[in-house]
Structure 1
Amino acid sequence: MPDDLDRKIIHGLNCSPQVSFRHLSEVVGVSEQTVARRYSACAAPAWSASSG
């Protein structure tokens, strides 16, 4: 389940799909590495909608 930070990252990416992890990290107040790690976790198959 996504937490508040995950939702902020997802919202930022929805608003500006081309935003860099560096800029997004400054906006949400965490390190660039944290944003990248959270993004990778969100993009993992476990979070994708099931196809059947």
Structure 2
Amino acid sequence: MTQKAKSRQEIAEEFGISAKTLSRWILKEKLQIPQGLISPKDQELIYEKFGKAISK
């Protein structure tokens, strides 16, 4: 499980996309992700929906 909160930019970089594209994906899938840093719990929702990104 993920240990710390991350920014949208950090998560987007894991997927090799921009933060704006990540935000579009989240909106399209109607995920309820609050603004600001993304908690470990919400990160798991993102990874479950879009697959586990490759960490750098």
TM-score by length of 2: 0.42
Q: Which has the larger radius of gyration?
A: 1
Name the structure, 1 or 2, with higher relative contact order (CA <8 Å, separation 6+).
2
Q: Which has the higher helix share?
A: 1
